[in-house]
Structure 1
């Protein structure tokens, strides 16, 4: 039992190749540099540098795990918007200190869940907006402009770089393409994209996977199962 518990703490196997690590690393660096540079052009380097932490975290999601639900366009744009508006409202009513910063990140999480734009780096952004440096704090509600400019710049960089490097982004919604993804047999209705969506909702937990990812995984699993079955048949005949 103890060994099983310890095994849960060990890192899972990486399912990507070093070539993909390099592709994502270059994208993270370029995306972060681009978004900070654009922000600095309009609002100055100190304000842009104040936002570099959340932007770097967003870059990892958008370039390294771009298929995840937390890395989609509405997640970063909506997440940054929620975090900034909530934090500015908290500052307006309660001021700037550690307690209000922690309150802001909690309320921001609730808003992101309600608007379906959960984006973890937005939590760091909520803290930074409350505990702002003098340059950012002096902007007041105007800090929303550099935040959203940086988010949109990061999104544009991800859209361009991912698709140019043959990584489809953003993920296409499965709701418009409810294909059956399991082989039909007599009496078996198969699995549809809507079934996957319902299953994810039934799990009642934060899961960073889209129904489309599950569809592709099941398709690939079926192909491997067919190859294994054919191999076993040939081995038995031999």
Structure 2
């Protein structure tokens, strides 16, 4: 039953959160203040009717900018270019297509295509394109200035506030490639299988689907993971195997799994798979097979499995 529940969660895209409670609260606070500023300024300058239309799509952008500030979809050009390009497409569709249904569908689909080719894919841009069409009911001839007023005005306010908020209040960098960001240049690890940035780009091209992470951040994540692996490169055969402790095979994707040792002696290990492949199953294997399978000890921390960085003792067995 646990296996099918896990598969259903993965199918629905329910991922384990790796962010702290403070990070979640900071994101919510940024969205609150950002929308207050944008809506207040729009309402004051352009009136309530126009500000209500545009605040919906900008509110969606606020979620990305404050909750996923390092995402590729959250960077300044996707936010600004995505909204402006979509607004332009939406206005054209409203002017050239009389049928509201066709105009709405065309505005969204053409805005996706335009954002792709302009390299500014931003999901809330679809809402902006739709707003330009559906919001034109009270304006028989949509005003081209809609692109600048209020679209450009709103997104510029959002980007400026996001930069200030992340830098001053969160001690983070936005955009992700900030001009004053201090990059740490690490010495190239002595690993035969070290992946280069060119390899990452090649893999992304082969994947042939938009992934919401920049190549730079993806490479830095890999370097940090490799650095962690090197600093914790202790021989598993020297680890103390004890009943009640958890061990990982260190693999990636669907092959990854975590086992909790239920009992162990000099010839056999009884274990339960608590995460990953074959989760929920209780099995037994020889000690040598378990040592060949496992890579390191892990602990459950902040809803995630991480390496146990405590002191490792010489190999022994505990009944």
Give the TM-score of the pair, scaled to structure 2.
Answer: 0.66
- Aligned residues: CA RMSD: 2.6
Structure 1 stretches of 4+ with a deviation exceeding 4 A read 133-139, 179-182, 231-234
Question: How far 1:99 sits from its partner (Å)?
Answer: 2.0
1:63 pairs with one of 63, 66, 77? 66
Please identify, of 29-38 and 84-93, the stretch whose mean Cα deviation from structure 2 is larger: 29-38
1:20 pairs with one of 16, 19, 23? 23
Residue 218 of structure 1 pairs with residue 295 of structure 2 = no
Question: How far 1:29 sits from its partner (Å)?
Answer: 0.9
* Contact kept in structure 1, 2:89 and 2:111, CA below 8 Å: yes
In our comparison, the structure showing a higher alpha carbon Rg is: 2
* Contact kept in structure 2, 1:181 and 1:192, CA below 8 Å: no
Residue 148 of structure 1 pairs with residue 152 of structure 2 = yes
Gaps of 5+ in 1: none
Alignment of 1:154-233 (within 5 A): 154-164=158-168, 165-172=170-177, 183-185=189-191, 188=192, 190-230=194-234, 232=236, 233=238
Q: Which residue of 1 aligns with 2:37?
A: 34
Q: Which residue of 2 aligns with 1:50?
A: 53
Q: Which has the higher contact order (CA 8 A, sep 6+)?
A: 1
Give the structure with the larger helix fraction.
1
Give the structure with the larger strand fraction.
2
Question: How far 1:42 sits from its partner (Å)?
Answer: 2.3
The separation in 1 between residues aligned to 2:20 and 2:140, in whole angstroms, is 43
* Contact kept in structure 2, 1:181 and 1:219, CA below 8 Å: no
Question: How far 1:218 sits from its partner (Å)?
Answer: 1.3
Query: SS of the counterpart of 1:109?
Result: helix
Task: Give the total of aligned pairs.
Answer: 232
Query: SS of the counterpart of 2:233?
Result: helix
